[in-house]
Amino acid sequence: MRLLQKWILYIPYVLFSLFVLFPFFWGLRTSLAEQFDPRLIPSHFTLRHYQTLLSRPDFFLYLRNSLAIASASILITLVISALGGYALARLRFKGKSLGGLLLILPLLPPVAILVPLISYFQRLRLYNTLSAVIIANVVFSLPLTVWMMRNFILSNPVEIEESARIDGCSRCRMLFSIVLPMVGPGLIAVALFVFINSWNTYLFAFALTSSQSLRVIPQGILAFLGTWGTYWGGLCAAGILALIPPVALFLVFQKWFIAGVFGYQLK
């Protein structure tokens, strides 16, 4: 009886999970089923839709662009947020109390800021380049990632740094050889946050580039939607492949990611 009671407690969890997971299940099932098979569990499975998708060279072009943008954005954001986060966590300077203003910036709508950015990038001769998309990714992530790094550094004991300081260690060396190795989870949380944002967003690429050769994966999916119409098998295959990288990385590193993203608002 007690065991039964214990299991009943899990019912809301299971119901909620079904609500959350059903679209994923449906996408996976559609990507593996024969076309227009209306049964929930199809009678037999096929990999044909994936073959159709992977036989298109443009899919790999989108993949390459997305990976290039994501890795450059991650690298740049990591360095800048480590520097800024360290200053906000450990250094004394005038105006430090204004640091919290960083948390207001993510509330600004990127879709509105992109409009003047188009003419900025035109003047900088960066419009229609991957660099423009990378800069947009970095800038819109920075307010949160700097704050995330600040919190991760603050949660470390300061004593080790103080003794290194007395041994004559410079601030720069201290940051890179003592502090950063201790905040590995913070670096991973920031990297994952930037990866998910840049991998998922098509707004920046849509606004700041015009060539087909610079499209990113979400734009590619929109283009497939335009040309394939209701060929759901191929479309869902593209969707499933596109969601694997962020979901896999999230599942592996979720502990640190959640601490980084949810911690920043609670501290």
Site for other proteins in 124-183 (CB under 8 A): 135-136, 138-140, 142-143, 146, 159, 162-163, 165-166, 171-172, 175
225 near other proteins (CB under 8 A): yes
Among 153, 236, 256, 260, binds other proteins (CB under 8 A): 236
Q: How many CA atoms lie within 13 A of 54 on its CB side?
A: 10
Q: Which stretch binds other proteins (CB under 8 A): 47-55, 67-75, 111-119, 182-190?
A: 111-119
List all residues 6 or more positions away from 115 whose beta carbon is below 8 Å from its beta carbon: 207
**28/6 Cα distance (integer angstroms):** 32
Minimum distance from CB of 140 to other proteins (Å)? 8
Helices (H), 124-216: 130-154, 159-166, 171-174, 180-182, 184-200, 203-208
Minimum distance from CB of 95 to other proteins (Å)? 9
Among 3, 13, 55, 57, binds other proteins (CB under 8 A): 13
Length of the chain: 267
40 near other proteins (CB under 8 A): yes
Minimum distance from CB of 51 to other proteins (Å)? 19
Comparing CA positions, the residue from 240, 263, 128 lying closest to residue 193 is: 263
Q: Which stretch binds other proteins (CB under 8 A): 43-51, 52-60, 75-83, 181-189?
A: 75-83
State the maximum Cα–Cα separation within the chain, in Å, rounded to a whole number. 73
229 near other proteins (CB under 8 A): no
